[in-house]
Amino acid sequence: MACSRLFRNFALTVKLPSVTTHKFDSGLLPTETVTTKEELMKYFNDMFTIRRIEITSDAYYKNAEIRGFCHLCDGQEGIYVGMEAGVTHDDCLITAYRDHGQAYMRGETPHAIFAEMFGKITGTSKGKGGSMHFYNKTTNFYGGNGIVGAQVPVGVGLAFALKYQKKPNISMIMYGDGAANQGQVAEAANIAALWKLPAIFICENNKYGMGTAIERASANTEFYTRGDTIPGIRIEAQNIFAVRETMKFAKKWGVEHGPLWLEFSTYRYRGHSMSDPGVSYRNKEEIDKVRATRDPIEYVKHLILDNKLASETELEEIQDKIKEEVNKAAADAKKDPVPDAKELMTDVFSHNRKYFIRNVELKDSALI
């Protein structure tokens, strides 16, 4: 009991990594933050759950039980957990196709995530979207997007809606270093700057756009400067506290001043997608070095162990329990039913509309 009371009042001051800025006073940003045992244990649980979802997805995909495109995010878990620790679900979020981690942190269960990838009716998008198209309206998660960069102007539209409705919230618009070169990113940024919208542009720079190193695809690899007149900040996003505190600041800034341009320096352990082995344009030594020095889960794990908040055995038990829960969620989702044929027509047209397909006679009344 005495030990429990001790940890209940435990507070750890954490020094934040340095940042690089563009047209922005870095002195406005915090240099340290405080965390608790409860927070550290939650972050460890959430990040490890996301990683297990990705590892399990990898296995099912290689067994041809998940079809279509599939982009995994293991290595980048600190971004998704750190972001949600700094904002609320009243803030809008839209992202690209590497979206499993965001879906989980925006309230989706592992069961619903797997069901969507298996094409089952119990999936987050009724099995009709697959890996790239998770969506959760109740938590303002406007999904993944399969078209490179296409989510950025939509995210600016969400920011416009927030300002129009006078809500004290931001729109977080996520895209990768490859999408940073898309024209619609610049167009959307121009509107956001003109109208001072609460749009937070977030470039997940994992160093490789598909199979191409950023130096070969981008004349300007300083992605935090790409907003032109919009202030920019680059952070070490493998550090969950750097992400958390940056998002806290970004929310306040966005509501009061308008857009902000963020670059999250991160790393993906796997290839761009399941069809990419991820080793033809980088070597295993590079990946192993990041795992050893920048892994977001290991960082939090060391804080827990170094401060004797839990033992190695206790953390292993937590990991074993999460593995079991994720494996069960996937196995159960696999047994769920596929959508009925009539689902081809739902969520497409407005209600009370007479459906027809030009030059085609529908003999199956279930489709009408």
- Whether the per-residue pLDDT at 175 is higher than 80: the answer is yes
Cα 178 to Cα 208: distance, rounded to the nearest angstrom? 7
Burial class, 29, CB count within 10 angstroms (exposed 0-12 / middle 13-18 / buried 19+) = middle
The total number of structural domains in the chain stands at 1
Q: Are strands 199-205 and 260-265 parallel, antiparallel or unpaired?
A: parallel
Q: What are phi and psi of 199, to 5 degrees?
A: -105, 120
Q: Which domain holds residue 200?
A: 2-283+293-367
Contacts of 240 (CB under 8 A, 6+ apart): 43, 47, 78, 81, 82, 85, 296, 299, 300
Residue 5 is predicted with a pLDDT of 46
- Whether the per-residue pLDDT at 366 is higher than 60: the answer is no
How is residue 280 annotated by DSSP? S
Contacts of 45 (CB under 8 A, 6+ apart): 318, 322
- Whether the per-residue pLDDT at 278 is higher than 70: the answer is yes
Contacts of 351 (CB under 8 A, 6+ apart): none
52: amino acid identity, one letter: R
CA-angle at 94, arms to 88 and 98, nearest 5°: 110
Residue 2 is predicted with a pLDDT of 36
Burial class, 239, CB count within 10 angstroms (exposed 0-12 / middle 13-18 / buried 19+) = buried
Residue 313 is predicted with a pLDDT of 98
Residue 3 is predicted with a pLDDT of 43
Domain contains 201: yes
Query: In b/e form, how buried is each residue of 140-169, taking b as 16+ CB within 10 angstroms?
Result: bbbbbbbebbebbbbbbbbbbebbeeeeeb
Confidence band, pLDDT 50/70/90 cuts, at residue 81: very high
Is residue 222 within 8 Å of 135, Cβ to Cβ?
no
Strand, helix or coil for residue 34:
strand
Residue 276 is predicted with a pLDDT of 87
**Full-model pTM:** 0.92
- Which CATH number do you get for residue 223? 3.40.50.970
Q: What are phi and psi of 265, to 5 degrees?
A: -75, 115
Of the candidates 266, 237, 201, 233, the residue with the CA atom closest to the CA atom of residue 28: 233
- Whether the per-residue pLDDT at 1 is higher than 80: the answer is no
Half-sphere exposure of 305 (CA within 13 A, CB side): 12
Domain contains 237: yes
Q: What confidence tens digit (pLDDT) does each residue in 290-301 have?
A: 999 999 999 999
Domain contains 264: yes
Q: What confidence tens digit (pLDDT) does each residue in 118-141 have?
A: 999 999 999 999 999 999 999 999
| Percent of the chain predicted with pLDDT > 70 | 93
Burial class, 241, CB count within 10 angstroms (exposed 0-12 / middle 13-18 / buried 19+) = buried
Cα 357 to Cα 29: distance, rounded to the nearest angstrom? 56
Looking up tokens 């953390």, which residue turns up? Answer: 315
Domain contains 288: no
Confidence band, pLDDT 50/70/90 cuts, at residue 358: confident
User: How does the average pLDDT of the chain come out, rounded?
Assistant: 93
Residue 91 is predicted with a pLDDT of 98
Is residue 226 within 8 Å of 197, Cβ to Cβ?
no
Confidence band, pLDDT 50/70/90 cuts, at residue 280: confident
Cα 337 to Cα 129: distance, rounded to the nearest angstrom? 15
Of the candidates 56, 4, 21, 33, the residue with the CA atom closest to the CA atom of residue 333: 56
pLDDT (average), residues 23-31: 96
Q: What are phi and psi of 84, to 5 degrees?
A: -70, -25
Across-strand partners of 236? 265
- Whether the per-residue pLDDT at 363 is higher than 80: the answer is no
- Whether the per-residue pLDDT at 260 is higher than 80: the answer is yes
Which token pair is 56? 């399990």
Q: Are strands 199-205 and 92-94 parallel, antiparallel or unpaired?
A: unpaired
Q: What confidence tens digit (pLDDT) does each residue in 51-63 have?
A: 999 999 999 999 9
Lowest-pLDDT choice from 26-40, 76-90, 158-172, 341-355 = 341-355
- Whether the per-residue pLDDT at 172 is higher than 50: the answer is yes
Which token pair is 339? 């959508």
Q: Are strands 260-265 and 232-236 parallel, antiparallel or unpaired?
A: parallel
Residue 279 is predicted with a pLDDT of 87
Domain contains 189: yes
The count of other CB atoms within 10 Å of the CB of residue 303 is 19
